[in-house]
Structure 1
């Protein structure tokens, strides 16, 4: 283990993650974590040096072998984060460096912070690499499909351990700033190596961080310092436009603030962004609008499964005002002919998903109309994936799916292989919720083993297209677009 420790520290120094003056401290820190009392000071590093993550694996393996930790994911991740904290500066230093680099260029600041978050294993690069990716050519353009294998689903034993954990509501949720540097436990992720850049927005304190299980390039999260529920209002629009002013190379978006049409975390105010061009960004323009009262704003209706109004102007305040007008009108708008009710039984139903970006000097803001109403026929939501596609995707359709990127559950990796075997006649067993779909696919046979997965991926793409079409309040049909026009007539000159 002396060699592994020597190599880890030497690599940290070579990568400028450990200062040479901190060499002995770093060695002793690792000896303490691994409960080793003696060390060969004559040990020299290997040539070539192994990478930090390989050395990390060997140290964690030693900890398991010596029964310092048990071989369960939570304890392994706690040990990993504590080791990688050694190459992670204190939050104050991370913030100081970030804003120093920002003075040179915003992209320099985010590049350096992103690289740190990868190097210190906060962003789980090796696990993310396991994700399966493919695309689907739809009538709306190319959709992106990901089977998310990077974040494993918890076992029953893990969920029971989390339930019994003495949490004391600290940190309150996975997004709270109290996670920064937190050791972790059964029901709270290991965050010793987690750092947050403080980001002031209109007098409020916010934090900028990256997602540990990135779904796309430089997947970042901007979160409120206060643990307050998601809500979308005039301040949200102002914040999004301010953030793309600060980081013009990133898009930034906010989920809707209502259940069903919101994201997976509604309890903590946050936005998501990054450096990625999504399918919706390249969507065709169906028609243009002239908005009364906003002469400097270009408005477009997109040819997209969901109902999108795209606003664009060099005048940021005009974009914000136009978006607010649309949002406020939509929140109280009803059209029973197409199942849209703003309110029923005291509950509000209309919401918006917002996505902001810069296009050269212009501000572009996509306002996506959403509705979370349920009925006896559609208890999960009228504008939610319908039962016949839920075997592929049944979770909330948040802003990432709205943009045309499917995040599908890990169970599908095994289940799609089972469907392939079923179609090839290798097995008669297939998950019950896939049975009807598999029978439909079987009618397209016979199949070749070499091309079967390509065909199944195409079929999954068709299902995802249906998923986001179900989420659209105004369908791409004559009836749907006529109803959309009725709403838009409120704003047109």
Structure 2
């Protein structure tokens, strides 16, 4: 059985362009060594299956034969090591990326994205477990994803992580360039099959990779060569727009650089992008205003639950300067009526989540205004999901959510089924933190019994909750509040 799996993987490696026929014996011997096998029989029929499925079956074999323990990290390390046998050295992949780039930027990213999937660095079997759908709202279609892709840690994995705690500081974080080819260890994921490609941005080398758990098409990460804290400034806007100039089929954006409103990794300067049409960048203008200092830049507030200024123009440098002008004005802006306070003593509260695109000859920057202040009523953040939506989502609202994609916890699968049973009278109660919402839904949908209709209702109500999440995170709740800031910028 194991030999059939190995032959199947080799066949897929050739079919997917990972290796050539001439590499077959060499790669096979490398895989045999990893699986502690000393020979290979003749006339083996290859197992016909996908690369991820073949790998899963090979890992099951390794566990059953006591080659590795039945522990998540050990299984992931062996999986990555096996696929590393099929991958070229980083220098060869980088050279191939550049060759494709001379054909077109899209050809280069198509090559690299397919490589990242075929090498199983992008965990497609796990990602396919996610439940994703769209919900129509007053702001357009919102994307909803219930995240089931990241496997839960079993007790043995948790035990080993506690026992193997150490002061190892290599790589410094999950985004450092030193992760390329790193074998992994308990508590740090395997990266043997990980490759990155250099992108030159404003006299600095940055690196492009894809997220191992993509939330949308070609979900990529652009990371600094240097391990340094995230910072939103003039250079950020210049890098984002320069990247979209080099890769006009991709958007590129940044999480904010402050806790609460920022992303999960603020210790390493990085951006996120991809080839996907989110709803927010395509939202209509709510109203257009004049930014007196930059008359050639089209400036608008868009129709979106968060507070977004959109800059559009043909001249990249003008947009960069306009964005930095707005950021500097916003960083020091306070408005008691809007509950906005720029600083508490030396602690800053105002920052920006920027998203860049290039549309034909027009550059575009969407600047999402953020504030991370807390108070006794909202200890997790005044402009953060409020307590009435915490039963759905209470985590930070980062770049992905800002653009209109809700990434929701896996617990909701069972909990939403429980609420559906409650609505139709099959159960008398639900999980306590959902009870108030469930009561509202039961009163609203009194004659609902069709299963398909009930499923659609729950999707719609989940989308409505996500809109409320975004509204909570918006710093300006009405046009009058926004107008005061515009007047401040033009004063």
TM-score bucket of the superposed structures, by smaller chain: over 0.9
* Cα distance, 1:280–1:228 mapped onto 2, change above 3 Å: same
Separation of aligned partners in 2, 1:343 and 1:459: 36
* Cα distance, 1:396–1:414 mapped onto 2, change above 3 Å: same
376-385 or 52-61, larger mean C-alpha shift = 52-61
Give runs of aligned pairs for residues 283-362 of structure 1, distance below 5 A.
Answer: 283-362=283-362
Separation of aligned partners in 1, 2:463 and 2:53: 36
Separation of aligned partners in 1, 2:411 and 2:151: 10
317-326 or 68-77, larger mean C-alpha shift = 68-77
Contact 1:198 1:205 in 2 (8 A): yes
Contact 1:197 1:209 in 2 (8 A): yes
**2:465 corresponds to which residue?**
463
**1:30 corresponds to which residue?**
31
Residue 49 (structure 1) shift: 4.1
* Cα distance, 1:294–1:120 mapped onto 2, change above 3 Å: same
Residue 15 (structure 1) shift: 2.9
**1:52 corresponds to which residue?**
51
Residue 30 (structure 1) shift: 1.0
Secondary structure of the equivalent of 2:7? Answer: helix
Residue 492 (structure 1) shift: 4.3
213-222 or 285-294, larger mean C-alpha shift = 285-294
**2:122 corresponds to which residue?**
123
Separation of aligned partners in 2, 1:164 and 1:235: 42
* Cα distance, 1:449–1:160 mapped onto 2, change above 3 Å: farther
Separation of aligned partners in 1, 2:107 and 2:257: 33
Separation of aligned partners in 2, 1:298 and 1:152: 46
Residue 167 (structure 1) shift: 5.5
Give runs of aligned pairs for residues 269-288 of structure 1, distance below 5 A.
Answer: 269-288=269-288
Residue 184 (structure 1) shift: 1.4
> 1:248-277: per-residue Cα shift (whole Å, max 9, x none)?
110000111001111111111100000011
**1:439 corresponds to which residue?**
439
TM-score normalised to structure 2 length = 0.96
Separation of aligned partners in 2, 1:336 and 1:491: 17
* Cα distance, 1:109–1:416 mapped onto 2, change above 3 Å: same
Separation of aligned partners in 2, 1:159 and 1:325: 48
> 1:454-486: per-residue Cα shift (whole Å, max 9, x none)?
2111111111110000000001xxxx3111101
Separation of aligned partners in 2, 1:424 and 1:157: 40
Secondary structure of the equivalent of 1:181? Answer: coil
Separation of aligned partners in 2, 1:416 and 1:196: 39
Contact 1:300 1:310 in 2 (8 A): yes
> 1:266-298: per-residue Cα shift (whole Å, max 9, x none)?
111100000011111221211112221212211
> 1:203-233: per-residue Cα shift (whole Å, max 9, x none)?
2221100001001000000001111111111
* Cα distance, 1:453–1:49 mapped onto 2, change above 3 Å: closer
Instruction: Give the ranges of 4+ consecutive aligned residues of structure 1 lying more than 6 Å apart after TM superposition.
Output: none
Contact 1:198 1:206 in 2 (8 A): yes
**1:70 corresponds to which residue?**
69
Contact 1:3 1:43 in 2 (8 A): no
Residue 429 (structure 1) shift: 4.4
Give runs of aligned pairs for residues 87-102 of structure 1, distance below 5 A.
Answer: 87-102=86-101
242-251 or 126-135, larger mean C-alpha shift = 126-135
Residue 449 (structure 1) shift: 4.4
Secondary structure of the equivalent of 1:194? Answer: coil
Secondary structure of the equivalent of 2:311? Answer: strand
TM-score normalised to structure 1 length = 0.95
Separation of aligned partners in 1, 2:163 and 2:400: 33
* Cα distance, 1:428–1:155 mapped onto 2, change above 3 Å: farther
Secondary structure of the equivalent of 1:286? Answer: strand
Residue 10 (structure 1) shift: 2.8
